[in-house]
Amino acid sequence: MKKSRRMTNDAVVGVVTAILLTGIIVAVLSLVQTVYVPKIMEQREAEHMDKVAEQFASLSSVIADQAADETKGIPIATSITLGSKELPYLLSIRSYGTLEIIQNACSITINNATEAGSILTASFPINTITYSSANAYFLDQTYAYEAGAMIVSQIQGNLMMIRPSFVVDADGETIDILFDVVNISTVGQKIIASGYGTYPIQTEFHDVTLDINFTKVRTLTITTSTSNAWSVFLNYTMIQAGLNQNGSRTDYFFENTGQSLTIDFSLSSRNVNVFFRMIDIQAQIGPGWIE
């Protein structure tokens, strides 16, 4: 007897089905990985930038209260979140950040005339607190607490989010400027933290290191990488005080080089006085207070 053989396609169909299912799974995963993961991570990093903005606003508020209260010996911690985590089970990159106290990041220079007609120059270096992001998907941003102001910077420029204590009072032939500057000094070597975790920055009122009245001021210069933010704020403040940049009576004009901003009062017929105070706030990054 001869045994008959019967051809079947069942095995072939099974292999083809498995290949098709594998292809569909790979296509779906590729779509998720290349389209949805970047969008989700970009949104995460954008939300993290908003969170850092809120934390820096809180830090600015704490320092302002300490500068106004002038009570020593009470350090207050404000938490700053440096980065955001990656997505689980999918290929993504977490973001990082750096929190740092930068020495001599900017300076304020005042030129005033003496009774003898000579010009005296006084320059004051200022330390700042900065946060710099290292995002993988969203636009990088830098937040800075500088001389009492909170400033956010991007590639396109910078903007002042919280104003410093800068008041202009124009009365008749006199222009009075009250400028309270907060300088951040450091204690020990706890001045930087990098990574993606949450780190506290502790601040404490130390002293009012300067309280000087300048008369017959000719120029006031702020040297900083965020000169655009200062320019917009100071110009708005001058205009609100009723001062003029042009016309029949010129009170001041600006010179902005991108790295420094100068308010020039040399063409003004009014006497310009600057009441300048510098408040020293000590700061440390990380837990524990080191004297």
Task: Give the residues of the chain that fall short of pLDDT 50.
Answer: none
Using CA atoms, how far apart are residues 166 and 237, in angstroms rounded to an integer? 8
Using CA atoms, how far apart are residues 80 and 240, in angstroms rounded to an integer? 35
Using CA atoms, how far apart are residues 67 and 80, in angstroms rounded to an integer? 21
pLDDT at site 250: 87
User: How many other C-beta atoms can be found within 10 angstroms of the C-beta atom of residue 62?
Assistant: 17
Which candidate, 259, 282, 279, places its Cα nearest to that of 105?
259
pLDDT at site 29: 61
Which candidate, 172, 184, 291, 289, places its Cα nearest to that of 241?
172
pLDDT at site 26: 63
- Exposure string of 99-115, with b = 16+ CB inside 10 Å and e = fewer, is bbbbeebbebbbbbbee
pLDDT at site 82: 95
Through-space distance between the first and last CA atoms of the chain, rounded to whole angstroms = 103
Name every residue whose Cβ is closer than 8 Å to that of residue 71 and which is 6 or more positions away in sequence: 205
pLDDT at site 155: 87
Pairing of strands 260-264, 253-256: antiparallel
Query: Are residues 37 and 165 in contact, defined by beta-carbon separation less than 8 angstroms?
Result: no
Using CA atoms, how far apart are residues 275 and 175, in angstroms rounded to an integer? 11
Type of residue numbered 283: A
